[in-house]
Every structure is written in C-alpha cells, then in structure tokens.
Structure 1
Amino acid sequence: MIIKKMTVGIHEANAYIIHEEGINEALIIDPGDGKKTIVKYLDKNKLQLKGIVLTHYHYDHTSVANGLKKKYNCPIYAHKKELEGLGDPEINQSTTMHSNLISITPDIVLSDGDIINLGNLKLSVIHTPGHTPGGICLKVNDTNVIFTGDTIFSDDLGRTDLAGGSEILLKKTISNKVSQWTDETIIYPGHGETATMQEVRKKDVPFLNKKK
C-alpha cells in the first residue's frame, strides 16, 4: 500500500491518497485544499480516482471534494450523521472561514462497520463521534494503519467546541474505541504527524487508556 500525505490549506490539514503498487486506482481521504497538487500527483502516477472519503464535515477537510468529484466522476463517501453539516455552510464553518460556501451531498452514505473497497484493500469504517456527530476513522484491514481525521492526533484530541461537537461523545469514543487500539497501530491524523499508539500513549491525551 502506498500512502501519499499532502498537507494542504491555511490550517495545514492532511489529505491522503491511497493506492497500491501496480494498480491504477486510488482513494483520497479529506481533500481540504490543494486541488492542483492532488491532480498533478494522480496524473503523474496514472491513477484513476475511485472515491473521495470525508472523515467529517469541516471545510478544511472537504473544500475541493466537489471539484474532484466533477473532474473524476467518482463518488463522495461520508457518514450518515454528517449529512446536515456537509450541506450547511454555517455548520461546516465555510461561511466565516473560507472564500467559498461549501455544500456537499455524499453519494454513498456510511455507517459504522461498513467496508470501502479499493482493489485488494478494504477500509473499515469506525464511527467515532465527538469532534462531529458522524466523524469516522478508517482502518485498512490486515494492516496496523488507521486514518483518524480529527478524532485523535499524535499528541491531542479534536476540539469539541464547534457546531456538532460533544466532549461527552468524544470521551466515550476515546475510552471505548480508541483505547482498544494496540500500541503497534499507526495513526494518520487530519493534522500533524503520523504516530504509533505507543507514542500517543506517552502524551497526556485526555480519556486515553494508557494500557495497550
């Protein structure tokens, strides 16, 4: 599996392009900006974009999703509890923080436990509410890799003070789900650096069980 990380936009959000050696299909997770850079990488590597997966509705993770969908005629995936926020520029923060209002209607609506297929890869959907109601993480089956959006970073958790955020739900997510991930799990977060859960556990991250 090849993971191309691109840090895009004024908030330095991470977009990830996933593909396999020798297979010309790719997925992108959270294209928040940098459309030209994304297209350049796809074209250079002769990749067909087969889907756009949004971990949550905030504009810094979604702003070029509609443009990529139009160019590559591929579906947008998002959790069913993100529909309102994706469609409403007030909720997704694009009214005040972005030059263009963003409204997105996903083509494929996800639930916890769903599988997104890409060639030989299977991405399992983990519903991780708290930062937003329908925030998700994506585990690549048969690997230690999990894409975490803004649920958890290498040294902190996603904020809960924006529209749809809930500290109570995030605490449950971290305590009941994220804390179960092994030390060998590698997280690819929506901002900042990649880290193992062993490294994350060494930080003072709220609600995270220190045991592996």
Structure 2
Amino acid sequence: MKPGNFYGIGLGPGDPELLTMKAIHIIQRADCIFVPKSNTKEDSLALEIVQDYVRGKRVTEQVYPMTKDKSVLKSAWLKYAEEIRAEVINGNNVAYLTLGDPMTFSTYIYLLRQLNTLLPEHAIHTIPGITSYNAAACAANFPLLMGDERLAVIPVPKDITELRSIIEAFDTVVLMKVAKKLDEVIQLLEEMQLSENALFASYIGQRDAYLTCDIISLKGSGRGYMSVLIVKGIRH
C-alpha cells in the first residue's frame, strides 16, 4: 500500500476567514484530522475554526498533559506521533491542526521532531498560518516595519529588566507569552517613556478580541492571557 502524507496546518489566530486557501483544500481532501487539545479545556478552538470543512470526517483529539515535566511531555509527543505514523503508513492523508503559525512558538514543533524520525521527509508538509502579531498589527493599522528597520519576536522574559536592552536595540519588538507579566511590562515601558508607542491585542481573531494603544489603562486588568504586545522602540 502506498503511504499517505502528513500535513501540519497553521490555522491562524482564530478567525475562520484568515485560513489560507491551501489550508482549506488540504483539510477538505484529508482522510483524517488530528487536533491537539489541553487536558484542562473542554472545547477545541481549532475544531471551531474549521467546523465548516471537517463535517463527516474522522476527527481525533489528542489530549496533551499541561505539565512542564519534559519526560511526560516527550512521552506524549512520541505516542501521538506514532498514532499519526500508523495512519500515514496505512495510506491515509493526515491533517494536523494547530493555531497560529506552526513554526512560531508552536507546540507543533515538538510533534514534528518526533515525526522526522518516524516518517520519510517527503511525506511531511507544513502549511503556514497567520501569526497573532501580524493579525493584530493589521487589525489596528499599526505598521510593524519600514525600510531597513529591525524586528525582534520574543517571549516575555522572567526578568523584565532584560527587555530594556532588547527594546533599545530593535525598532519594533513583539512580546509573546505576556500572561501575568503584563503589569511589569507596562511599568518598564512607562520608565522608558514608550507607553504611547505600543499596541496590545488579546484573543485576536476571536469573539473576545480586544485591541488598544492605551497601554496604561491595562494596569491591573489581568488581560495578559492569550495576548501579544507590540512595542515601537526609542527611534519612534
């Protein structure tokens, strides 16, 4: 039996209209769909995004443990990679759905590492998706880069003071994984007199989407979860 193909598909930030045509076509042609899911959530946002394209298809939710224990996580990734391999070897075309872009701070990358050891390279295909910060910048008409400007995309560090030198070195800094560090980041931007040079977005592309350039008003709001903060550096 001729093996099938594996497709890791980026769904973008949450808006079904931000799916690429290529993503839609592959999902429609897939024999089976795999969807990652946290063991702390009941519903899958990924499935909600593609609900119009997966009706009647065989869908498997792979539930991942919410832990930082690397051995537990590696075991889960290997288990689910082997499930996918079995489908591909049996001749099925498999679509694996992931939010955002598969190669940008995505847990998909850990699955991909396992699949690279289980499947031939020509059978693995990754389809890009729109990132949350691209979607946020466009939604707010907030230019990311012009000319020869430089961009940094980083997770908020544990030590907020490390941000100062990064913001000073780049024209635009995209801060991911803001979470509970939001108030500390705002405080640093105030100290650097850059609080008016930033765009905050949370749940971009989803029903509860929120955008603002009034960064100071976010103090104590607890809005850091599922958010991105884009900061223009000192030259702006």
Taking structure 2 as the reference length, the TM-score comes to 0.27
Which one has the largest radius of gyration? 2
Structure with a larger share of its residues in helix:
2
**Highest RCO, 1 vs 2 (Cα 8 Å, sep ≥ 6):** 2
